[in-house]
Chain A
Amino acid sequence: AQTVTQSQPEMSVQEAETVTLSCTYDTSESDYYLFWYKQPPSRQMILVIRQEAYKQQNATENRFSVNFQKAAKSFSLKISDSQLGDAAMYFCARNNAGNMLTFGGGTRLMVKP
């Protein structure tokens, strides 16, 4: 089965510092999309950032950026200037043919004031 792996069940960061969440994936396709979703205690799944595999440039959304290494099948999320509101579960996901998402197991991010 094609999988998405998040090797860090929990991460902790000091407010205003930078943290990087890791994700690796498996795929046999050449064109696909990768996503990071945030799930706060409300359970709402919120799209943080997405990356198109055919684009070499790393995606950036304000304080959120990715390090996409296609050959290594790695897709890490960097959060700069961490804020208390960033505390949540973060899920990495990859789409399949048909646009179905396969999710990683999640990383719980704690932000210390």
Chain B
Amino acid sequence: DARVTQTPRHKVTEMGQEVTMRCQPILGHNTVFWYRQTMMQGLELLAYFRNRAPLDDSGMPKDRFSAEMPDATLATLKIQPSEPRDSAVYFCASALYNEQFFGPGTRLTVL
């Protein structure tokens, strides 16, 4: 049963620390998305890749966030340095056509 996986599922860290979240898209999917979910802002797109190339990262704070796809089976989202306002659930989703399949999310808490 193909699914998107994300690690870690939960992360608690202190302000100023580096955080790396990982996503394994469904095999064969060529598009990967990163979303963030907060109570205040809801679900918002941070970045997305097609065929491993970044196409849009306008939703990301550029000074502290970075997203990469080192290969077709791994996408990473990094925050350095982390801040309390980054506390949220971060979702990865992958797609081949119009339907996006979501991972279980990483719940990040920055103290």
Contacts and interface: CB of A to CB of B under 8 A. Distances in A.
Contacts, number: 49
A91 B43 contact: yes
A44 B55 contact: no
B75 to A, nearest CB: 15
A101 B89 CA distance: 17
Nearest to B47: A100
A100 B45 CA distance: 7
The 7 tightest CB contacts between A and B, nearest first, are A45-B102, A103-B43, A33-B98, A43-B105, A105-B42, A100-B45, A44-B104
A105 B99 CA distance: 20
Contact of B95 (A37, A44, A91, A99): A99
A33 B99 CA distance: 9
A98 interface: yes
Interface string B76-111: 000000000000010101010011111011010000
Interface of B: 31, 33, 35, 42-45, 48, 50, 55-56, 89, 91, 93, 95, 98-102, 104-105, 107
A106 B107 CA distance: 19
B28 to A, nearest CB: 16
Given A33-B98, A50-B98, A99 B31 contact: yes
Contacts of A84: none
Interface residues of A, dominant DSSP: strand
A95 interface: yes
B109 to A, nearest CB: 14
B98 A95 contact: yes
B42 A100 contact: no
Contacts of A101: 33, 35, 43, 45, 93, 100
A38 B84 CA distance: 28
Contact of A100 (B48, B91, B105): B48
A50 B99 contact: yes
Given A43-B105, A45-B91, A103-B43, A98 B100 contact: no
A43 B99 contact: no
Contacts of B43: 91, 101, 103
